[in-house]
Structure 1
Amino acid sequence: MLTNMYDRLSQKREAAEALARKQAEQEREAAEALSEMPVPVPVLRLDAEQNAFCIAGLNMQVPLGFSFRDIETTLAFATCEVTFSARRRIAPEGLDLPKAVELYVKNLRDRHAQMTLIRQSECLLAGHPALALDYLFPAGQEQRHARTVCTIIAHDDGQPRQWLEVSTQIDPNQARLADWLIAFDAMLAGMTA
């Protein structure tokens, strides 16, 4: 049976709306699938002889041929002092990250007999698999909370593997430092080559 012109227009409009809803649903599902895919993290290459510091907005390039081993500095965050340090060493062949971190924790316990390991978690440092340690230890009459992120960086050009650790220490009783560890993690996540 033939329907009138208005019914046919209505059917076409309803069909177009149903098609538009179906396409929108497919696009939404595709967008959700893309958002669930992990974003690849760039793996940064460690170049031991390329060193620079940015201090209060001033860039200082270290001459070629010099490579850092230890950096330790005191930073001011929310008018409180925090320490920041970075260490680099050659990592022996055959030493994997879990064993290296186990040795690191043993050395911590040797230096701080009352050290308490709070948490150990997997993470990335400059795109390389890393382990993050949170621990407490006494410093004189005060307590310190430290976070250390450790990784072993292997080179594909025959250079020796490198142990890299980045640490911070704070007074956990300073309420103004409540956001420092978040800022520290963001600082490490923002590392560039």
Structure 2
Amino acid sequence: MVRTCFYDRISEKRIAAEALARQKLQEALDAPPAVIEPEPVAVVSLQPARNELTVAGLHLVMPQGFNFRDIDTTLEKHGHPVTFCAKRRPAPDELTLQRSVELYVENLRKNYPDVTIVRQSDRLLAGSPAIALDYIFTAGQERRHGRATSALINAVDGDERQWFSISTIINPAHAELADWLIEFDAMLDAIAAN
């Protein structure tokens, strides 16, 4: 029995390991790609008769019979104002999501004639198909950046669809607000039923 040199045996092991790694890589490349199923998204229904707000840790429940329609508020981040709005309206059966966005833009143009639509993209809002709209305009002498996300969502009782929109407006010149739109989208992604 002839024994090879110690260094030859190490080299043979290395060469065999490299060949095995190449073979596994080739098998992985030849294999069909794995299909990753997306996590199902829970669709959240609106509960028009249930209206609650938590502000500064205080939970405010609206009296029975009062239905939410508009919330317009100014938040503050690092000393800079951030406009936040939420709106809800009954949506007739013939209203499409795209048409609701067109109506939203028409209303923007009435208030801000110089509005420019920057981007329109599909997304989800409370598990329902939605459209996010980014736009810029001038307020006084300052630029503003707005983002509105709108969806048509069924009410929990199933009687009536609702148009639901959440929007924000910032002054993009403030570096302290650079992450706000990312935080805003994360906030929308976290919407859940109580």
Match of 1:82 in 2: 82
- In structure 2, the partner of 1:184 is 184
Counterpart residue type for residue 85 of structure 1: C
Aligned to 2:70: 70
| Contact 2:144-2:172 at 8 Å conserved across structures | yes
Please give the alpha-carbon distance, in whole angstroms, between the structure 2 residues aligned to 1:106 and 1:94.
Answer: 18
Deviations along 1:64-119, one digit per CA (max 9) or x if unpaired, are 22111000111112331101000000111111101111121122112211000000
- Verify: 1:44 aligned to 2:51, yes or no: no
Structure 1 pair 192/156, CA: closer, same or farther in 2 (3 Å)?
closer
Structure 2 residue runs of 5 or longer lacking an equivalent are: 1-19
Task: Report the alpha carbon displacement of residue 138 of structure 1 after superposing the two structures with TM.
Answer: 0.9
- Aligned residue for 1:146, secondary structure, equals strand
1:135 alignment partner in structure 2: 135
**1:147 and 2:154 correspond:** no
Whole-Å separation in 1 of the counterparts to 2:134 and 2:165: 13
2:166 paired residue number:
166
What SS class does the counterpart of residue 88 from structure 1 fall into? strand
Aligned length, in residue pairs: 166
> Alpha-carbon deviation of 1:158?
4.3
- For residues 5-154 of structure 1, the aligned pairs below 5 Å read 33=34, 36-154=36-154
Residue 41 of structure 1: CA displacement? Answer: 0.9
Q: Distance in 2 between matches of 1:98 and 1:81?
A: 30
| Percent identity over paired residues | 51
**One-letter code of the match for 2:150?**
C
In structure 1, what residue type is equivalent to 2:182?
I
* SS of residue matched to 2:106: helix
Deviation at 1:33, TM superposition (A): 4.4
| TM-score, normalised by the number of residues in structure 1 | 0.80
Q: Which runs of 4+ in 1 moved over 6 A?
A: none
Q: Which runs of 5+ in 1 are unaligned?
A: 1-17
RMSD, matched Cα? 2.1
Aligned equivalents of 2:62, 2:34: Cα separation in 1: 45
